[in-house]
Chain A
Amino acid sequence: MPMHPHAQPNFRNLFWYPFKITLITALRTFPFIGKRFGKKLGDYHNTSHPEFLDDGSRSRAASSVVMNDISRQEFAPDRVTSDLKPTLWKPQTVQYPYERLEDMEPWLFVPGNYNGRIGVIWETCTACKMCVNICPNDCLHMTTELRVDVLDSADGEDGGLGMELEVGKYAAVEKPEVKAELEEFNLVTAHTDAPDEWRFAEVLDLSGDTATVRWNDSGEEAIVSQDELRPADDQIVSGRIDLGRCMFCGLCMESCGFTSFFMTNEYDGMSGFTRQDLWFDASRTRVLPGVHQEAVDAELAKRASKERTKRAKKAAKEAAKGDA
């Protein structure tokens, strides 16, 4: 029977070559002698200079330059020699979670359609409950939460389309340092809730340009300029997700009519030591501003224009009624 030379069931292929290859693979990882034996594995394993990118890897990287501009990257950080044993060519296994593949070989990204951790743009959620209804495992629950009315700042200005500041209701002041921190915040590696960039308070009195408020966190009263204050409400829609029950089917994402509900392609940051740890509040599932700002802006602009036409129509109607 004609066979490929590598497939011949002879003594050399069945006995000698397996021994040889395993020996070289093992010797490659030892100090001093490793470099010598690495070359014997040939180009496929890129062992002659494993800390540098081989031609195949570089061409792959160059072809995906749109995704990540690493086309000029020469160096593969996962193959650097160990700090403690400088002559040791360490195994090329990625030492997850100390190292992450997407950090070292960014062209090997997780596919965008991978159903990973749930992310919700809560700012654009309308509490239509389509996701809750469609969830086969009952992992989604709608709640309410004290939050800033984002529609107030639609169109990039405080257009006053949302709520007004009212005595007895809530307001909030932005914390710029937290806002800056959120730009860098990574829910995947943090394993904690994202910090809130708003400081909430109850409005006690409105007079002229200033307002008297009682801070929710400290309970102290203060007088703040009304320009700084944003109207907030404790009845704004929110939700929590039991990731312990989630099977990542993605039906919630498909049912969402407002593109607020996402399955991100992040595979980490969903672990905990108790079942309660897997109850993700809105702060844990929110998509952070740095990621979603454009989507939020677009959605809010749409709603603002809708609201504006509604108001315009209403005003026209009033005017027509007045004329009549």
Chain B
Amino acid sequence: MDDKYDLVGFFLDKEGVFRSNIIKLLDGTAAEESASSISFAAGTFAAVNIVFLMLFFSQFAILWIERKAVARMQDRYGATTALRSLWVGENGVTAGEWWNMLPFGAGKPVGAINKWLNKKYGNRDENFPTVDRVNNRSWMGKTIVPGFFQNVADGMKFLVKEHMVPQRADKLIFEVSPFLIVSSTLLILGMIPLSSGIYATNPDLSILYAIAIFGIAPIGVFFAGWSSNNKYTLIGGIRSAAQLTAYEIPLLLTLLSVAILSGTFNIIESIHFQHAAGSWNIFLMPLGAALFLITMIAEVERVPFDMPEAEAELVEGWWTEYGGMRFGMLFMAEYIRTYAACFLFTHFFLGGWHLPLQGTIGSIEFLGLGGLYLLIPGAIMTLIKSWLVFLIVFVWARFALARIRTDQILEFGWRMLLPLAVLQLVLSLVYRLYLFNPDDMSAQNDVAGGMAWDAFGIPFFVPAATTLFWIGMFWIYLNDEDKSVAQERMFHVQTVEPAGTVVPGQE
């Protein structure tokens, strides 16, 4: 169902406050005839900018999530450069009087406030006389503010670094390929909706658009690897090209099965379908969700599929020769692609902007609780779901799993993912044709949602049975060991009777 907060409607509705006022303003001027188009352009500009700003600023969150979660997995605190670093220090000594660099003395009040704060709340413990001057990120050695500022600090660092081009590089291609990668990556964000009313554009075939635009960057990767004229970058670029088809085809087939199940090539309509049919797609195609995640990890080149930039063997892979802001942009592009992958998973499998159990809780009439529940903005729900997908899948996999070899990626892609993706395609067809009751779908804006996936008179039988089946398969696979084979213990001394079971002298 439609989200309550309709940004695009506010800016682009001709009868709405925004456009009607602009049209009224232009009444009687030379631009009167094209007032409608001008107001449309202004509304589009505003909406697109707001959506991009939301996507960009929320992207800081995933960088932060990754750093913090990884730190916890490695038993440490993680990034600690908070905004506090700009003012805290020892008795008036701060991180540097940066406010004096602002023009027209604009920073003078900041400096005054800074000095006052330092005097009042700076580190003054004489137990750490030198330490406080060097490291001003913590208060008496304890980190109390999350290190959200670390990413900004990193960005500033990249900005002021020198741009260097290797002498023997193919300079034109070397300069062009980061822009190819970054611009094609930014285009991905264009069609990602935050909710039914918050998106930059909504093309009819947005699923196809997403896949097409995702496929441009690997060409830039290959260009970058070749043009740097460096053995590591070349190997990285070739590896990227080599593993491309192994995961792209299963990815395409998986998205095709999503499109078949929802009966549309439009992302927003496929989300509406999940609500109107009564079940999120992840419960109908857990196999497809797993395939999508695996192939997307490979697509955005993260561990365990990060052969193209394997740090341990290829320095930094295909982007070894890029430094300064070129590196920063490539880095940002990689994270935007990851973020976009999280959004796509949220939209295709987790019901997009819909709240958990939106139909059930939303239709509670007691004390208007359902209405209150529906007041939660869908964009927030999309962001939370995407962050959770990033945290649970991308970050966790990155630090749990080991990088796999090129031949293993190819074998895995061609001999496991591809047949499974074909299986999922067939399953989607069967589900859509034989297990789906179009008559039981609700209207798009019905709060309660539909019950189109019932069988044998049991509502939600199809998603429940499917989920249980795949969980069972997972459990079987987990315990798939031939226990009848005697395990020779190569590394431990084998004890006939375990310690503690035998009392000396009484055996």
Contact = CB atoms under 8 A, between A and B. Distances in A.
Interface of A: 2-5, 7-8, 10-12, 14-16, 18-19, 21-23, 25-26, 29-30, 82-84, 91-93, 95, 97-99, 191
Contacts of A83: 142
B456 interface: no
B489 interface: yes
A21 B130 CA distance: 38
Contacts of A18: 400-402
Interface string B461-495: 00000000000000001111100000111111000
Main secondary structure on chain B at its contact with chain A? Answer: loop
B141 interface: yes
A10 B128 CA distance: 51
Given A83-B142, A98-B131, 11 more contacts: A2-B490, A4-B487, A4-B490, A5-B487, A16-B478, A18-B400, A22-B73, A25-B72, A25-B74, A26-B72, A29-B75
B401 A4 contact: no
Contacts of A91: 71-72, 75-77
Nearest to A91: B75
The 3 closest A-B pairs by CB, nearest first: A98-B141, A18-B400, A2-B488
B478 A95 contact: no
Interface residues of B, number: 32
Contacts of A7: 490-491
Contact of A93 (B76, B399, B402, B481): B76
B396 A23 contact: yes
Given A2-B490, A22-B400, A11 B76 contact: no
B69 interface: yes
Interface of B: 69, 71-77, 128-131, 141-142, 144, 396-397, 399-402, 477-481, 487-492
6 contacts: A3-B487, A7-B490, A21-B400, A23-B396, A91-B75, A191-B130
B72 A29 contact: yes
Given A3-B490, A98-B131, A19 B400 contact: yes
Nearest to B69: A26
B145 to A, nearest CB: 11
A11 B396 contact: no
B400 A11 contact: no
A119 B11 CA distance: 75
Of the candidates B144, B400, B478, the one having the most CB atoms from chain A within 10 angstroms of its own CB is: B400
B478 A25 contact: no
B401 A11 contact: no
A122 to B, nearest CB: 26
Nearest to B77: A91
A12 B479 contact: yes
Contact of B487 (A2, A11, A84): A2
A22 B396 contact: yes
Contact of B72 (A10, A30, A95, A191): A30
A18 B71 CA distance: 16
Nearest to B71: A91
